[in-house]
Structure 1
Amino acid sequence: MAAKQSVIVVGSGIIGASIAWHLTRGGAAVTVVAEDEGGVATPCSFAWINASWGNPEFYFRFRLRAMAEWRRLATELPGLPLAWCGGLCWDLPPHDLEAFATEHIGWGYGIDRIDGNAVRAREPYLANLPDLALSVTEEGAVEPVAAALAMLSDAKARGATFVNAAVHSLIRTGERISGVVTSAGLLEADHIVLATGAGTTPLTAAIDLHIPIDTPPGLIVHSRPHARRLNGLVMAPELHMRQTGDGRIIAGSDFGGADPGQDQQATAEALFDKLRGSLLDSPSLAMDFFTVGYRPTPKDGFPIIDAACKGLYIAVMHSGVTLAPLAGLLASNEILTGEKDAALAPFALSRFS
Structure 2
Amino acid sequence: MSQQNTFSNPVSTKTLSIVKRSRKVIVVGGGIMGASAAWHLTKAGATVTLIERAPASVSTATASSFGWVGASASTPSDNPEAFAARLKALEEFARIERELGPLPIAARGALLWQATEDETGSMIAEHRAAGTRIECLSRVQIAIREPRLATLPPLAAWAPDDFALEPAAFARQLVAAAKAAGAYVRQGAVDAIETAGGQITGVLMAGQKIATDVVVLANGYGARTIAFTVGVDLPIHESPAVLIRFGVEAGIIRHLLCAPEIELRPALGGGLISAADYPENGEAGLPALATSTGDVIAQLLGMATTPPLLSINAAQRPMTADAVPLCGHVGQINGLYALVAHPGVILAPLLGRRCAEAILS
Matched, 1:246 2:266: no
| Residues 92, 293 of structure 1: alpha-carbon distance in 2 compared, 3 angstrom cutoff | farther
Query: How many angstroms does 1:285 deviate by?
Result: 2.9
Partner of 1:291, secondary structure, is strand
Normalising to structure 1: TM-score of the pair? 0.88
**Range with greater deviation from structure 2 (208-217 or 133-142):** 208-217
Q: Match for 1:308 among 321, 330, 337?
A: 330
Aligned 8 A contact 1:220 1:258 in 2: no
Q: Which has the higher contact order (CA 8 A, sep 6+)?
A: 2
1:285 partnered with 2:303:
no
- SS of 1:42's equivalent in the other structure is coil
The answer for the alignment partner of 2:43 in structure 1 is: 25
Structure 2 distance, partners of 1:282, 1:32, is 48
Q: How many residues align?
A: 334
CA RMSD of aligned residues (A): 2.2
Change in Cα spacing, 1:116 to 1:3, as seen in structure 2 (3 Å) is: closer
In the alignment, the residues of structure 2 paired with residue 62 and residue 36 of structure 1 have an alpha-carbon distance, to the nearest angstrom, of 30
Are residues 1:334 and 2:358 paired?
A: yes
Kindly indicate whether residue 250 of structure 2 is the aligned counterpart of residue 227 of structure 1. yes
Match of 1:51 among 71, 74, 81: 71
Code of the aligned partner of 1:289: S
Instruction: Using the TM superposition, give the Cα deviation of residue 188 of structure 1 relative to its aligned residue in structure 2, in angstroms.
Output: 2.0
Give the equivalent residue in structure 1 for 2:4: none
From 90, 102, 126, the counterpart of 1:103: 126
Structure 1 residue 83: deviation in Å? Answer: 5.1
Residues 58 and 118 of structure 1: CA distance in aligned 2, closer, same or farther (over 3 Å): same
Paired residue secondary structure (2:301): coil
Do the aligned residues in 1 keep the contact of 2:120 with 2:155 (CA within 8 Å)? Answer: no
Q: Check if 1:171 corresponds to 2:205.
A: no
Using a 3 Å threshold, how does the CA distance of structure 1 residues 82 and 16 change in structure 2: closer, same or farther?
Answer: same
Q: 5+ unaligned residues in a row in structure 1: which ranges?
A: 338-353
TM-score by length of 2: 0.86
Equivalent of residue 297 in structure 1, options 310, 314, 319: 319
For the pair 1:6 / 2:27, whether they are aligned, the reply is no
* Residue type of the alignment partner of 1:305: C
Moved over 6 A (4+): none
Deviation, structure 1 residue 259 = 3.0
In the alignment, is residue 321 of structure 1 matched against residue 339 of structure 2? no
CA distance in 1, matches of 2:197, 2:168: 37
Distance in 2 (alpha carbons) for counterparts of 1:196 and 1:232? 31
Amino acid at match of 1:143: E
Relative distance call for 1:93 and 1:259 in structure 2 (3 A) is farther
1:284 Cα deviation from its structure 2 partner: 7.6
The residue number in structure 1 matching 2:97 is 74
Q: SS at 1:150's partner residue?
A: helix
Q: CA deviation at 1:266?
A: 2.8
Q: For residue 35 of structure 1, report the CA deviation from its aligned partner.
A: 1.4
Deviates more, 1:203-212 or 1:229-238: 203-212
| Kept after mapping to 2: 8 A contact 1:50/1:139 | yes
Q: Percent identity?
A: 32
Q: Is the 8 A contact 2:298 2:306 kept in 1?
A: no
Q: Would the aligned equivalents of 2:244 and 2:275 in 1 still touch at CA under 8 Å?
A: yes
1:267 to 267, 289, 297: 289
Q: Which amino acid aligns with 1:320?
A: G
Counterpart selection for 1:181 from 190, 194, 204: 204
Question: Contact (CA 8 Å) 2:250, 2:269: kept in 1 or not?
Answer: no
